Amino acid sequence: MTYNILVVDDSKLARMAVAKILKVRHPDWNHLEAANADEALAHMKTSKVDIALLDFNMPGRDGFVVASELRQLNAEMPIAIISANYQREIVQRAKDFGAIFLTKPLTEEALHKFLEDVMATGKVGGK
């Protein structure tokens, strides 16, 4: 099964880092990159996105705003919010939203566990 993962982060290096992990762990998966909310929404409208990884602290709309907009287009899509800002209110907001909170810097193990967990739920699309 292959999946399309959308990585939204204003840092190019952070997007490269996720791509690098995916290339090692899931070389057959497709990954799409967006530097902001508008680019993320454009991908959602032109591609079938199965999983989204969203940076929290971005210029313009933050990760939660982007997550809300993505959920309007795909209500069931698994979403992870990624940030070094792990204040309990922010972690709780992620939980309330039904997203998983992952801490920056993101480790290969943490990302792999998130992906394993969402695949185990059977809710994620893929082909």
Partner 1 sequence: MSENVQDIMDDLELDALTELVNIGVSRAATNLRDMVGEEVHLSVPSVDLIRRKKAVEILSRNDSKLVAVHQVFEGDITGRALLIFPETRSLELVRAVTSGNLPLEDIIDLEQEALAETGNIILNGCLATMANMLQRTFKISLPEILRGDGDLLFNMPPPPESGDVVMFVYINFAIRSRDIQGYIAMLMDMPSLTTLQLLLREFIQRTGGADGASLA
Contact positions toward partner 1, by CB under 8 A?
Answer: 9-14, 16-21, 24, 57-59, 82-90, 104-108, 111
At position 105, the amino acid (one-letter code) is P
Minimum gap (Å) between residue 15 Cβ and partner 1: 8
Contacts 24+ apart (CB under 8 A), 102-110: 102/53, 104/14, 104/55, 105/17, 106/14, 106/17, 106/18, 106/21, 106/82, 108/21, 108/24, 108/25
Give the shortest CB-39-to-partner 1 separation in angstroms.
16
Residue closer to partner 1 (CB basis): 43 or 104: 104
CA angle at 26 for the pair 37 and 35, rounded to the nearest 5°: 15
User: For residue 30, what are the β-bridge partners?
Assistant: 4
- Specify whether the CB–CB gap between 53 and 27 falls below 8 A: no
Contact predicate 8/52, CB 8 Å: yes
- Minimum CB separation of residue 69 from partner 1 in Å reads 18
Minimum CB distance to partner 1 smaller for 76 or for 116: 116
Name which of 21 and 44 has its Cβ closer to partner 1. 21
Q: Which is nearer to partner 1, 68 or 72 (CB)?
A: 68
CB 100, min distance to partner 1, A: 15
